[in-house]
Amino acid sequence: MKKVILLIASICLFVTAFRLADFPEAKISNGIISAKLLLPDGNTGYYRGTRFDWAGQVESLDYKGHSYFGQWNSTYDPKLHDAIMGPVEEFVALDFDAVKPGETFVKIGVGTLVKPDDKKYAFATNYEVKDAGKWTVDKKSDQVTFTHTLKDATGYGYVYTKTLKLVKGKPQLVLEHSLKNTGTKEIKTSTYNHNFFMIDKEPTNENIRVVFPFDVSGEGAGFGTIINAKDKTLSYSRPMGKGDQVFSSGLKGFGPTAKDYDIRIENIKTSAGVRITGDKPLEKLVYWACPTTSCPEPYIQISAKPGEETKWNINYEFYTF
């Protein structure tokens, strides 16, 4: 009986290893940072949901023996809205409230989707994909460029380009974005990075802190009990347990310029951290955490008239202290 159990366990491990190895991926390095990226693919990609932009999923990133990303959610399905890893981004849906059930709307980085009913938009809903657009991927040793092209019958069209690049000689990852409007409608939306950090796989507890360049305040689930805002820092008062959740729909304290898009997340037990900066002003700053990950979610506004192109960057600087 013991041999049968061991055989079954071995088969399960083999199948899991094969499945994980079978996802399209790319490895990049600049000699300081090494990272593994998961690539978009409608049939075999790790993530095939309709919430997040398919470009730029970071399965792992290592610097000086410290790890920063990983599988934070124990449940996996390729079409699950949060079966994704790394500093992933979401664009607010275009025209969702204006279209009728059965009609289509657009999510940049995902495609043209079908609105099923008259309910409000819900990121956990797996919307039907009518047109996934076209993805191309250009892989180099220290960077990967993703391009998503979409032309929608309602008048939206774009060429969205996103490059994840490791900076030569520095412990930095840059996310370079470009959105060119090739349609007849103006594109006006917001986008944010969810930042699913797992620094050295530390559970969410007193060893994790988040630091801002301004005096921060926040209200919502877990604020004042699980997490506290004091001066420029968010600190946990206790470990988060199963079922616990921290959420604020909008932290306060930032100003109207890009200088406040400057966030540090640190593991004070292992002395590893990351500094996130952006070149556009914050529109709002959501915060969410569960027992395995802490996520500041900085929103910015994006717009481009027909024929126009807009660009923006997010920089990740990894460090020890």
- CA 80 to chain CA centroid, Å, is 14
Count of structural domains within the chain: 1
Q: What is the pTM of this model?
A: 0.92
**Joined tokens for residue 315:** 């920089």
Contact criterion met (CB below 8 Å) for 234 and 269: no
**CA distance linking residue 147 with residue 244, whole number of Å:** 38
Residue type for 18, please?
Answer: F
**CA distance linking residue 186 with residue 239, whole number of Å:** 46
Contact criterion met (CB below 8 Å) for 42 and 132: yes
**Joined tokens for residue 181:** 């409007």
Within 10 angstroms of residue 277's Cβ, the number of other Cβ atoms is 18
User: In tens digits, what is the pLDDT along the chain, a chain of 321 residues?
Assistant: 444 444 444 444 434 444 455 899 999 999 999 999 999 999 999 999 999 999 999 999 999 999 999 999 999 999 999 999 999 999 999 999 999 999 999 999 999 999 999 999 999 999 999 999 999 999 999 999 999 999 999 899 999 999 999 999 999 999 999 999 999 999 999 999 999 999 999 999 999 999 999 999 999 999 999 999 999 999 999 999 999 999 999 999 999 999 999 999 999 999 999 999 999 999 999 999 999 999 999 999 999 999 999 999 999 999 999
Provide the CATH number for the domain around residue 205.
Answer: 2.70.98.10
> Domain span at residue 271?
2-320
Contact criterion met (CB below 8 Å) for 228 and 219: no
